[in-house]
Copies of this chain bind each other. A is one copy, B any other.
Amino acid sequence: MSPDAFETEAAAIAADRATGAADLARRALAALAESARAAPADDVGGLRALLERRAYRLADSRPSMAPMATLPRRFLQALGAEEARDLAQLRARAAEIAESLIERSRGAAGEAAAAAARRIGPGRTVATLSDSSTVRRALAHLAPDVRVIVGEARPLCEGAALASHLAGEGIEVALVTDAQLALAMTEADAALIGADALTLRGDTVNKVGSHLLALAAAAAAKPFFVVAESFKRWPADAPAPVFEEMDPAELGHRLDAAVRQRNVYFETVPAALITEIVTEESV
C-alpha cells in the first residue's frame, strides 16, 4: 500500500460518519495488512517503523472509538513479539497478525451477538438506535420472531439503513425519530444498543441519544442491554476518549451564524442505567 493509497484510506476512515466502531477498526487492520504486504520499506527496521506510524495514525483518527484504539495497538504488540529473519518474512507475519485480529474481532462480535439474542429471547419487541453491526447480528439470531423499533439517529439517520435491512430480513420494524424514544420504550420489552467504547468504570460510549434511550428504558422498567466485543474495552494505555463533534452543516439547517449549532456524535451511558454489557465473555 503506497503512502498515497494509505493516506486516502486513512482519510476515508477518519471521515466515515455512518459505520460503527468495530467495522471501522477492522477496515483499519485491513489497511495495516495491506501496508505490511506492499508498503515501501528497505529492511525489517524500516517496515516496523512504517507500520507503527500507520497504526497510530489510524488509532488517533477516531478518538471516541475503542476498537480503533485497541486493535491497532494489539497489532503492534504482537508485531513487537515477532522475530522475523528477513523483510519478506516480516511482511507475511505482520499481514497474518492483522488478518487474524480481524477474524478474532469478527468472531468475538458474533459470540457477543449470540449471547445478547439469548438474553432477549424470542417473541420480544426490541428498541435500538443508530445502526450497530453487532446489534444486526444479534437481531439476525432472533429473526423473524422479533419486532424492532429503531431510532433514526440524527443527523445522518443511519437508523433508517438498519430499519431497511431488518425489513429485508423479514423482521417487523418501525422507524421513529429520536424524540419518540420514550414512547418507543413503552412499547418495547427491552433496549439493545452496540458500543463505540466500554470504559473501565463500566460506562458505555455510544451514539448520542443512547443515554436518553437508557433513561427511557429505566423509566419504563425495561432492561437495557449493550452488546459489544471485548475489543471495545477502552485500553488503559490509550489516551482518554475524546467525544468527536462533527460539522454542524450535517444538521441541514440554514441559520444565522449567531445560532451556534452543536453536532456531538457520542455520549456516555452511565453504568447504573445498563442492565448488562453482553460480550463474547458473557456466554
Q: Count of chain A residues with Cβ under 8 Å from any Cβ of B? A: 45
Interface bits A168-211 vs B (CB < 8 Å: 1, else 0):
10001111111111110000000000000000000000011101
Query: Is the contact region of chain A dominated by helix, strand, or loop, or is it mixed?
Result: mixed
Residues of B within 8 A of A168 (CB): 256, 258
Inter-chain contacts of A219 with B (CB < 8 A):
211, 215
Residues of chain A whose beta carbon lies under 8 Å from any beta carbon of chain B: 129, 149, 151-155, 157, 160, 163-164, 167-168, 172-183, 207-209, 211-212, 215-216, 219, 251, 253, 255-256, 258-264, 267
Task: State how many angstroms separate the Cβ of A247 from the closest Cβ of chain B.
Answer: 13
Is the Cβ of B263 less than 8 Å from the Cβ of A174? no
- Verify B258–A167 contact, CB threshold 8 A: yes
Q: A183-B267, A255-B163, A256-B168 are in contact. Are A154 and B174 (CB under 8 A)?
A: no
Q: Are B179 and A154 interface neighbours, CB within 8 A?
A: yes
Q: Which residues on the B side are within 8 Å of A251 (C-beta)?
A: 152, 175, 177
